[in-house]
Structure 1
C-alpha cells in the first residue's frame, strides 16, 4: 500500500469539502461541548483547552488515517456523548470527569484491538447501513427548507447558487454556495465582527481522579453512546462510499488519541458520520481515489481551529445558524440520494431498510442511546421476522 501523497491528487474541491466539514462540525455542536465542560466545573481556560485537545486529536487522526489508507477518514468529537456529559457530570469534579474520559478511552482501545467492533459491523447488511445513514442525514436536508422561514433571502440565494453551480461547475458547487453565503451575510450586515477576538489557546493539564460510581454511571454510557451513535454510522459512511478500510485500526486509533489527550480535555474522539459524508461524496472529488485529500484538509483545519480555541468558537457563532444549516444540507444532498438508492435497491431488505430509515429519522432515544442504534435494531428485527416468515411459508 502506497503511503505517499501525490501532488497531482490535490484539488480545491477536496480542500473546500474538508473546510466545510470542520465548519459544520464546530458550528453545529461546539456549544454542547462547552456545556459539558461547564457541567464538569471547567474554567474558561479549561474549556479552551478542551477544544485544543480535541482539535489536536482530530487533526492527528484525520491526517494520519486518511494519508495512510488513501481514504477520507474523518473523525470528530461525540456530539451525543457531549450531550450525555452535559447532563451526567453534574456533581462530579473536573478531576473525576477526566478519569471517566481515560477509562472510556481505554475500553475503546481494547474493543478496537480485539476486533469485536469489526465483527459486529460486518453483520449489518449494506441496505440497512445505508438506510440508517439516510435517516441521520435526512434532517440536514430538511433544514435547507425550514431555514427559508427565517432567512428566505440568504438561503434562497444559496440554493439558487447551488443549482446554477451544479449545471455550470458541479465539482465546485459547494464552494460557490459557501462564497455566496459569505457574501450575503457580510453585505446584509449579519456577520457580528465585534464578537470575534483573537487569542491563542493554552493547554491545561487536569490530574485524573477515579470514582467507581462515575466510571460505571458515566463512563460506560459514554462508551455505548459513542460506539452506537458515532462509530457505527461512521463505518456506514465509509462502507457505503465504497471504501473497504479495515475497521479495527480506525477504532483503536481514535480511542488511543482520546486516551493520550484526555488529561487536557479530550472526552471522545471517534469516527464522524455527518461531516464525513461531506468528504466522501462526489462533491469532494469525482474520483473516489483522490477524496482522501479532503480528510487531510479537514485535519489541518481541525488543528487550526483547536489552536485558535475560543476565537474559532466566537467566529462560528458570528454566522447566522441558517447559513450553516443550509450549507450542510446542500453539501449532503448527493449523499442522501445515494444512500436512499442503496437502501431501496434490494427487495429482500427493502422493508427492513424503510423501518431503519424511519426509526433513525424519528430521533427516538432510549436509555441515552441515540436513534441510529435503535434504527439498526428495529431494522434487524424486521429483517429476521419478515424474512423468517417468508422462508417458513416457502417451505
Structure 2
C-alpha cells in the first residue's frame, strides 16, 4: 500500500479483490444505505448459490451496483466530492489517478475560484510565471502546463474567455500591441485569461521601464477580472518588477512542479528558486487542448513607446502594484524584511514602495 497521505483508491480495490481486505469493492461508489442493502444481497446470494454474485456474473447485482453508483457519482460531481470521484476512477483496474492527485488539482483550481474550497487563497485572479531552474530548462513541459492550467480554469468557469499569442491553439489571438490588448480586456464583459508563450522573446531584453510598465498592467488585469500565465525560460528572462508580484511555478520535469511565491537567486548561478513553496505537484496531467508543441510558438508582443514615455513623465519613481502580504506579516519590520528576503527588493525599492526613507529601511533590516 502507499503511504497514508498518498494512498490510491486502486490500492484498496486491489486489496479487496485479492482477499487481503474483506469487503465489496464497489462499496466506495455508493451511499451507506445502498451499500448495506447490496451487502445483504451479496450474503444471501452466496448462501443460495455457493458463489458470490460477481464471480457468477449475476445481472441483478450488476444493475443494483450501476444504479447505486450512478446516483452517487451524480451527487459527487455536483458537490465536488473528490473522494467519491477518485474511488470511482481507482475502481478501474488500469486506472492510475489517486486521491492525492485529485486533492492537488482542486488546490490548483482554487487559484481561479472566487471562493476557494480547499485552500485559504484570497486572490481569485491568478497571475503566474512558469519557468524551470533545471539544467537544461527546455523539455520540462512548461507550455503543456500552461494549457493544463487553462483546462483547470475553464473547469471552474466554463465561460472564461482565453486569448493567447500562439496561432496553433483554438483560442482567440492576442493583439500584438499591448495598448490593443488593454482595449480588448476592457471591452470584454466577464472573466478572461491571457497566455503568453515564449515570453522571453519580448521580455528578456526589455529595459527597466518596460518591466515596470508591464508590472503596472498586472493591476489593470486584476481590475478587469483577467488572469495571466507567462511562460518563460529560466525565470531570469522576466523583469524583477513582474516576478515579485506573481505566483511562480518551477517545472522540475514534464509532470512535476513547485507552486509558490517569492524568488531567490541561486548563489553563483544564473537560476532562480521559489522562496515560499505552497504546493509540490508530482503528476501534472496532459492538457486536452490541441496546440503545436514546437519551440518559439509564441509571437512577440510589442509595448507602446509613447505610452512608456508618458508613464515616466507622470510617475518618475515607479512603484509596483500592491503586494499581498501573508497574514503573519503585520509589522513594519516584518513587511520590510518580507520585501527584501522574499520579493528580492533593494533598499531603495522598498523605501519607494512603503513611502519610507532608506535610513528607516536599513534600520528595520538590522533588527
Instruction: Normalising by structure 1, report the TM-score.
Output: 0.23
Look at both structures and tell me which one has the larger radius of gyration over its CA atoms.
Answer: 2
Instruction: Normalising by structure 2, report the TM-score.
Output: 0.25
Between structures 1 and 2, the one with greater helix share: 1
Q: Which has the higher contact order (CA 8 A, sep 6+)?
A: 1
Between structures 1 and 2, the one with greater strand share: 2
